[in-house]
Each structure stands twice: as structure tokens, then as C-alpha cells.
Amino acid sequence: MAGRLDGKVAVITGACSGIGLATVRRFVEEGAKVVLGDIDDARGAEVVAELDATHPGATAYRHVDVTDPTEVEALFAAAKDTFGSVDVAFNNAGISPPQDDSILDTDLEAWRLVQEVNLTSVYLCCKAALPYMLEQQSGSIINTASFVAVMGAATSQISYSASKGGVLSMSRELGVQFARQGVRVNALCPGPVNTPLLQELFAKDAGRAARRLVHVPMGRFGEPEEMANAVLFLASDEASFITASTFLVDGGISGAYVTPL
């Protein structure tokens, strides 16, 4: 049976865990070739070895710190050199460290770290991916923002929320700018998803998790595979009229005023 991404080459950052890893698996199942970018080299090698068993040669791992322009350029060049094109960029790496909290307690160092990893990284990845896509006159960029880009969170992480607002605005602007050149750019806005990032955030404070959960109409956190399916859709030609969108996959959280108990 034909795959929904047959013939496409994708670059995925933050590919070794959570949403990125689930998307690597889903993309490979649908026929894509995928270059995984991450800082977790040991895990990267394991994932490629595991996927080689079922989909030989479909994946390659490359070390990338998404805050480093040279490494980011090399990541996208590796996709072109190894697999022949850059059709999909899922710019997804992000962090949510505990030092990023209320504005009253967050120092400049913590603020800057989160801006670099979550926002500057997306600028760098889009800048590196676009020349390949513009030359082909086709491509799909999906940048991971968050539901906190469209609404205030009761559990503040000031730099994280600001960074995701930046990712959303940048994605919208790029989507508009390149719409007539065959390149679509969308912002994936997940609700809270059950990944190591979320688990780390709530590990020390169960009350904080409960405060977030109460706002989700579906009454549960999302699963990484549910994000991967949305990214698959945005990456595929099925989404050919979708660009510059705020693509919320959030269990209804952004639509809720009060939630049923």
C-alpha cells in the first residue's frame, strides 16, 4: 500500500524523545526518509538501529545543537546529501527547565536559555530549510509551538510561553511570505502531552499537574502518537491548502471556559 509520505525526505529535531520520536516512527511507517537531529547521540544511534531492522536505510542520525547555526545548516545539508531533498522540516526541539517559572523568580540566564533553544532554534532551522524548499518550489515546515502561545497558563513559565508565542508568529509570517512559492509553514500547538518534558515539569509538584489537567475537556494529557498523526497530516499533500495556521491539537483546552468534571 502506498505511504502518505512516499518519496519525501524529512528532517526532525528533538527526534530522540517524546513528540519528535513518535513522529519519526510515524513518518517512516508512511514511507518517508528521515534525518533525526538531537543532542542525545546514544539514543539517536539506538533509534536508527531499531528502525533499520524494519525499514532498512530509512533513517539517519546527526548530532545537532539547535542553537548552533553551523550544526543546523549541516543537519539540513545532510538530508539533501544522504537522501536527495528536503521536503519536510519538523522543527520540534524544545526545553522546559524548572528555573523558568514565574517572571518574579526567573533570572535572565534562564530566560535566555529557553529563548535560544525554543525560539532562536526555529529561526535557524527555517532559515536553513527554506533555500532547499524554494529551489524545489515545494516543502512543508511544521514548527512546534504550544497551546500556551494562544492562552495564558495557570502554571507560569514566562520564557517558555513567550518563546512559543514567537514560534507561532514567526510560522504565520513565513507561511504568508512563501505561500506562492509552494512552501507551507504551520505551527503545531499541542496541549499538554505525556512526554519526558511534561513528566519532568510536574514530577516535583503533583498539584501543578492537577491544576493543568482540570482545564482539559478530555480530562487527560495527550499522547505523543496523537501529535505525530497531526504532524503527518501537515507534512503530507493532504494538507495542501493549509498554511500559516495555528494548528491546535489540545484535547479542547483552548476552546474551554469551564470543563465537565
Nearer Cβ to ligand NAD, position 20 or 166? 20
* Sheet hosting strand 246-249, strand order edge to edge: 59-63, 33-38, 9-13, 88-91, 139-144, 183-190, 246-249
Estimate to the nearest angstrom the gap between the alpha carbon of 14 and the chain centroid. 7
- Choosing from 61, 132, 160, 257, the catalytic residue is 160
Q: Of the two residues 175 and 192, which places its CB atom closer to ligand NAD in the complex?
A: 192
CB 47 within 8 A of CB 119: no
Which residues are at the interface with ligand NAD (CB under 6 A)?
13-14, 16-20, 38-40, 64-67, 92-96, 117, 144, 146, 190, 192-193, 195-198
Whether 123 sits among the annotated catalytic residues: the reply is: no
113 vs 242, beta carbon nearer ligand NAD: 113
- The long-range contacts involving 1-6, CB below 8 angstroms and separated by at least 24 positions, are 2/31, 3/29, 3/30, 3/31, 3/32, 4/30, 4/31, 4/232, 4/236, 4/238, 5/30, 5/31, 5/32, 5/88, 5/232, 5/235, 5/236, 6/30, 6/31, 6/32
* Cα distance between residue 116 and residue 104, in whole Å: 20
Residue 64 CB, nearest distance to ligand NAD (Å)? 5
Neighbouring CB atoms inside 10 A of 220's CB total 12
CB-nearer residue toward ligand NAD: 67 or 181:
67
Nearer to ligand NAD, 22 or 179 (CB): 22
Q: Which residues are catalytic?
A: 160
